[in-house]
Amino acid sequence: MTGVWHCQGVSRTAAVPVGAARQGSLRELNLALVLGRIADADRPPSRADLAARTGLTRATVSAVVEDLLLGRLVAEVEPAPRAGAGRPARGLVLAGDGPAGLGLEVNVDYLAVCVVDLAGRVRHHTVERADLRPVPPAEALGRLAALAAAARADAADQGLTPAGAALAVPGLVDDAGLVRLAPNLGWRDVPVPALLARHPALTEHVDGVPPLVVDNEANLAALGELHAGPSGAASFLHISGEVGIGAGIVLDGRLFRGVRGWSGEIGHVPVRPDGRPCRCGGRGCLERYAGQEAVLAAAGLAGADLPADTAAYRLAELARAGDAATLAALHDAGTALGVAVAGVVNLLDLDTVVLGGGYAPLEPWLRPPVLAEISHRVLTAAWSPVTVRPATLGTQAAAVGAAGSVVRRILARPGGWLAHRS
């Protein structure tokens, strides 16, 4: 089955996969409940543990686990040996050879594809570096499809079944999957769903699992960080520093998408209202002071034409070597970033800021000026410190977050996948 599920924005969480006829039934609820407890557990739980944690009877748990085992959603592992009488029960873990999520990304200077298994492990990851600004969208998606086909083949070799996909783009995506504007890529009103129809490697999915979702890369990167990062930080601002700068706002463990799904455009927060003109038509946007091109130019690397993550690592190398121009460029970028972040913290009262994307490797140099601006400018900073830390995933975050979003949809509604299997 090939299709595009271009649901976007607030309504997404309420959307229901069409093929999952039995979702919502008691069986589906029990499947999701038991699967969720297995996913959340610190150690592989036994059937008895699951009965205690779900409130279901032992018999019901056993029947549900049998379905999950048959459907390759979970697997059994041998318990650790222990002292005392009796043979310990076997534990259950998420399967490493069942369904998987395919994560896709088109960015300004690279294409990325990855496969993430149910347990959240990245099992395949390819990045193709290329300046995509002169490339027509249909051709960019064609190149992505070639990478996706290779990723699917690799996943199959590992016994995995990519059951659905999500695509990250550095722009504003509307309810119909239309990319309204991706200023740094030069895309405007690009009908991604129509273009995808030509590329089954991008959209192929299992009946009962929602087809491809198109979403903003900063949103998906924040979701990637939410699930890959330290547990407990359920509210944070995740900033993806690439050629453009996007943010994902996570509140109480959920992505805040805004009224129309277009939140997080921190790159266009004005930090110098009468300052440098921006591609967006505004002036003095954060991107013009802390975006990759501005930093490279300030560091004297304007013509170097380095791809995004290479650029970040090159800057980090120069900074480590004590290059004065690079250190000054990073200080100025961090100060501009800090001005914007201080505004966000004053407004939203977040206590954690995650430097992601190309900012992750530059965190040692960006963090001090960001913290300095926060401490000068945030009203509550004196008694309520803000944590600034690097992202766990860095430049991989959007593609991994995309794949992870597919995995989480399967875990939340396992019935569709199981119906497909039976």
Residues that bind a second copy (CB under 8 A): 172, 180-181, 183, 235, 247, 249, 251, 256-266, 268-273, 280-283, 285, 339-340, 342-344, 346-351, 376-380, 383-384
What's the burial of 146, exposed, middle or buried (CB within 10 Å: 0-12/13-18/19+)?
middle
In contact, 69 and 75? CB cutoff 8 Å: yes
Sign of CA dihedral 271, 275, 279, 281: positive
H or E segment at 93?
strand 91-94
Least distance to a second copy from the beta carbon of 307, Å? Answer: 24
Of 182 and 318, CB closest to a second copy: 182
User: How far is it, in rounded angstroms, from Cα 376 to Cα 236?
Assistant: 20
- Give least dist CB 404 to a second copy, A: 23
**CA-based end-to-end distance of the chain:** 16
Rounded Cα gap, residues 266 and 349, in angstroms: 16
Contact 75, 96 (CB under 8 A): yes
What's the min distance (Å) between Cβ of 14 and a second copy? Answer: 13
Name the residue nearer to a second copy (CB basis): 165 or 266: 266
CB of 229 to a second copy, least distance (A): 16
Q: Which residue in 158, 222, 169, 184 sits closest to 356, CA to CA?
A: 222
Distance, CA of 85 to chain centre: 46
Phi-psi sector, 73: left (phi>0), alpha (psi -120 to 50), beta? alpha
- Choice between 132 and 250, CB closer to a second copy: 250
Run of H or E including 162: strand 161-169
Instruction: Report phi then psi at 94, rounded to 5.
Output: -65, 140
The angle formed by the CA atoms of residues 119, 123 and 128, to the nearest 5 degrees, is 135
Residue 58 or 254 with smaller CB distance to a second copy: 254
Q: Which is nearer to a second copy, 81 or 383 (CB)?
A: 383
Nearer to a second copy, 115 or 255 (CB): 255
Of 257 and 413, the one with the shorter C-beta distance to a second copy is 257
Helices (H), 349-378: 363-377
